[in-house]
Amino acid sequence: MQAAAENVFKALADPTRRAIFEHLARDGEQTVHALTYRAAVSQPAVSKHLGVLKRAKLVRDRRDGRETHYTAQPQALKPVLDWMSIYGVFWRERFDRLESLLKRMDQ
Amino acid sequence: MTTTAPTRSLVIEREMPHPAGKIWRALTQGPLIEEWLMKNDFEPQVGHRFNFRSTPVPNWDGVINAEVLVVEPHSRLSYSWATMGSTSVVTWTLTPTDGGTHLRMEQTGFRSEQDAAYKGASWGWTKFIGNMEQLVGRLE
């Protein structure tokens, strides 16, 4: 797996980060303060989680005075979707080939 | 995509009009496996380490490192499946039916061998994956 995909998987393996990401994806841009209020963990913890999400390119930040605003970047989920679809497509195709082999085989 | 059980990631099932013994041969004899899956040095012995090799494609060298985990003739076969830094387990289950055999392939879990953080994350994943396609769909 590519490094980018690894970062996405790791970032989303944590339930708090997943919740933060889902809030942002659902409700749009929010400040660290607003996210802290909802996450029920300390602001430094939220900031740390946002840092991990940012490295995975799952969120984008924007400074506005003393506040930092975060926006979800769900297109960064693409490696995850690719990972799943590769396997789904892959195995279905292999099942077809297995069936065709079985037709050619003796009992 | 089936996401009902905690660690399940992919299940494909098919009814096949062939006896279980015949399907078992296709699943466990190297030259036959190569015909439908990939080049391999598989042996039906628990603990046997082997590779599947296919044509490299962009972002994938085509090599899968595997180890045989379960061999129950005509009924169950399982091997680990490690590639691109992630490890999963592929399990084949054969169940005789009136017209032949019900063949089920389940590929479960993925965790980095280097990073124990993947362990235990599966439950969250199954929940998360359910929402993900909607999220991405909303973008377009």
Residue B2 located in a structural domain: no
Nearest neighbour of B59 by CB, restricted to A2, A10, A77: A2
Q: Which residue of A has its CA nearest to B131?
A: A22
Residue B37 located in a structural domain: yes
In angstroms, the CA B47 to CA B89 distance is: 14
Name the domain count of chain B: 1
Residue B1 located in a structural domain: no
Would the CB atoms of B139 and A75 count as touching at under 8 Å? yes
User: Domain of B93: which CATH number?
Assistant: 3.30.530.20
Cβ atoms of B36 and B123 within 8 Å: the answer is no
Binning pLDDT at 50, 70 and 90, where does residue B45 land?
Answer: very high
Structural domain boundaries, residue B40: 8-139
Q: Which residue has the higher pLDDT, B64 or B129?
A: B64
Would the CB atoms of A94 and B37 count as touching at under 8 Å? yes
Binning pLDDT at 50, 70 and 90, where does residue A85 land?
Answer: low
Nearest neighbour of B26 by CB, restricted to A10, A83, A105: A105
Q: What is the ipTM of this complex?
A: 0.71
Residue B130 located in a structural domain: yes
Nearest neighbour of B86 by CB, restricted to A1, A13, A15: A1
Choose, out of A20, A21, A99, the residue to mutate when testing the contact with B (most B CBs < 10 Å). Answer: A99
User: Looking at the predicted structure, is the pLDDT value of residue B58 above 50?
Assistant: no
Cβ atoms of B103 and B92 within 8 Å: the answer is yes
Choose, out of B64, B136, B138, B140, the residue to mutate when testing the contact with A (most A CBs < 10 Å). Answer: B136
Touching check for B46 and chain A: CB below 8 Å?
Answer: no
Q: Which of A71-75, A77-81, A96-100, B61-65 has the lowest mean pLDDT?
A: A77-81
| Number of neighbours of residue B41 by Cβ within 10 angstroms | 13
Nearest neighbour of B124 by CB, restricted to A1, A2, A18: A18
Choose, out of B135, B138, B140, the residue to mutate when testing the contact with A (most A CBs < 10 Å). Answer: B135
Alpha carbon dihedral B72, A92, B39, B67, in 10-degree steps, equals -40
Cβ atoms of B39 and B50 within 8 Å: the answer is no
Residue B3 located in a structural domain: no
Binning pLDDT at 50, 70 and 90, where does residue A29 land?
Answer: very high
* pTM for the model: 0.55
**Domains defined along chain A, listed by start:** 3-104 (1.10.10.10)
